[in-house]
Amino acid sequence: MTEQHLITPPHSPEAESAVLGGLLLDNDRWPDVDWLAAEDFYDSRHRRVFRAMRELLAQGRPCEVVTVGDVLEQRNELDDVGGNLTFIGELARNTPAAANITAYADIVRDRARQRRMQQIGMRMQAGELPIESAMMELSEVRDERSGAEDMPELDLRSALETEPEPLDYVLPNFLAGTVGSIIAPGATGKSFLALELSATVATGQDITGIAGDGQTGRVVYMPAEDPGVIVQHRLHAIGAHIPPAKREQLYENLRIIPLAGRLPHLIDANGNINSDWISRLRRMAQNSRLLIIDTLRRFHGADENDGGLMALLIQLLEKIAAETGCAIIFIHHTNKAATLNGAGAQQQASRGSSVLTDNGRYQLNLTSMTEKEADERGVEPDCRRNFCLVTGAKVNYGEGQDEIWLRRAEGGVLLPAHFDLPGQVRAAKKKRLEVVREHDDDGGWDNGPLV
């Protein structure tokens, strides 16, 4: 055996080609192999073709030789696969049928698993990876299962004849093991809200009035936008609203990992998956009840308007949530149009691809108080910036979410807002007075004076 054979990483060119060729022959086989990642392919040409296919199929577009070539050309990657459609066409011509595509995909994933284990061993030998970390990463790789194995079938008899367990909600209507979001414009208080919800789930002390009586548990909050010193100031302000008896529970259950300046990208601009950061997130989610990443934009290097790449990003988060049972919330910004048009509470107010809303199971929107809302509640114009509204824009597993008004207290802490009845009375009288004046202009009323 030659030295080249000894150092060549494990891979199967035939299996990689057969997976890609099978998809070209039969687009309907995509659900059988959509659990593969581009990094599972050893050949860089295969990785590029797979990413192009995934983008097309995620958007419901036909995946053919010409369309795949068009996506590669738009990405300036066509030259990397030969500069024309020949290489892509050969993938289809050299694959007799798509019938065995799942078996080929299992081979691709198995070889990728072997390469990752090989790389971990080399990093450990070079002293780049502590033994404890290496053993943990090796264990994660060994525990990975192929797509064919990871498809448990629902027991229909049990589903019909056995009373199901109650749904486990981390927050009202937000199911454990799923992915949700908090959408808001800049400087609205979304990071403060994220930190308060983290403390609430960790201690059971409902600071905002949003969480209700839920089960407590371990929470990991990962702010990647604000420096640690700012997070510390916010937490100190929140601490004034956590009773001393709950403090030890907070210390035990809440982990805060500031990541500003660290570039914790789960995927890059081309859809390449960063397995290192994926593994870190999975470890954080393990045995946790809630994981919050703030903001989503800081956790990827892709174009957030690219539906295929955003679908991949959400799928990665969903996979971690499903495997660990941890609920995951990502913080994201409102698009400019929604902000300018007063539609920040709408479901599609999220910036970027609609996939970020469509593929999530839960969405809270945070909006600032408008002039009209302030007037209706008797709030002085120069005070309305201290109020914001939380709306349940999307709830897949529940009966809906009531609107909740919050006010900024000392230190910026968001607390439930209660509006005095006199303010509402003033607003109602003002509206009635406007109606009277309008009719006075038309000749007046004969119904006596306004009371």
Q: Which of 127, 147, 150, 116 is nearest to 276 (CA)?
A: 116
Q: 5 and 78 in contact (C-beta within 8 Å)? A: no
Q: Which of 375, 376, 354, 374 is nearest to 363 (CA)?
A: 354
The one-character DSSP state at 96 is -
Where in the sequence of the chain do the CATH 3.40.50.300 domains occur?
A: 169-423
Side-chain half-sphere of 146: how many Cα atoms within 13 Å? 18
Which pair of tokens denotes residue 177?
């093991």
Give the global pTM.
Answer: 0.69
| pLDDT, tens digit, 9 for 90 and up, residues 31-43 | 889 889 899 999 9
Q: 109 and 146 in contact (C-beta within 8 Å)? A: yes
Q: Residue 447 has what pLDDT? A: 40
Amino acid at 219: V
- Fold of the 8-143 domain: DNAb Helicase; Chain A (1.10.860)
Q: 280 and 316 in contact (C-beta within 8 Å)? A: no
**Of 30 and 146, more confident:** 30
Tell me the H-state helices in 359-397: 371-376
Q: Tokens 């969903």 appear where?
A: 318
Please say if the pLDDT value at position 84 is more than 80: yes
Beta strands at 327-333 and 290-294: parallel, antiparallel or unpaired: parallel
Spatial distance between the Cα atoms of 17 and 29, rounded to a whole number of angstroms: 15
| pLDDT, tens digit, 9 for 90 and up, residues 320-340 | 999 899 999 999 999 999 888
Q: Residue 143 has what pLDDT? A: 62
Spatial distance between the Cα atoms of 327 and 320, rounded to a whole number of angstroms: 9
Beta strands at 174-175 and 169-171: parallel, antiparallel or unpaired: antiparallel
Which pair of tokens denotes residue 118?
């090989």
Please say if the pLDDT value at position 443 is more than 80: no
| pLDDT, tens digit, 9 for 90 and up, residues 407-427 | 999 999 999 999 975 555 455
169-423 placed in CATH 3.40.640.10 = no
SS (H, E, C) 288-339: CCEEEEECHHHHCCCCCCCHHHHHHHHHHHHHHHHHHCCEEEEEEEECHHHH
* Burial of residue 152, with CB atoms counted within 10 A of its CB: 0-12 exposed, 13-18 middle, 19 or more buried: exposed
Where in the sequence of the chain do the CATH 1.10.860.10 domains occur?
A: 8-143
Mean pLDDT to the nearest integer, 264-287 = 88
Give the confidence band of 88 by pLDDT, cuts at 50, 70, 90.
very high
The one-character DSSP state at 273 is B
Beta strands at 387-395 and 362-368: parallel, antiparallel or unpaired: antiparallel
| pLDDT, tens digit, 9 for 90 and up, residues 242-254 | 999 999 999 999 9
Signed CA dihedral, 307, 312, 316, 321: sign only? positive
Spatial distance between the Cα atoms of 434 and 451, rounded to a whole number of angstroms: 14
| pLDDT, tens digit, 9 for 90 and up, residues 52-64 | 999 898 888 999 9
Which pair of tokens denotes residue 143?
């525990």
Please say if the pLDDT value at position 431 is more than 80: no
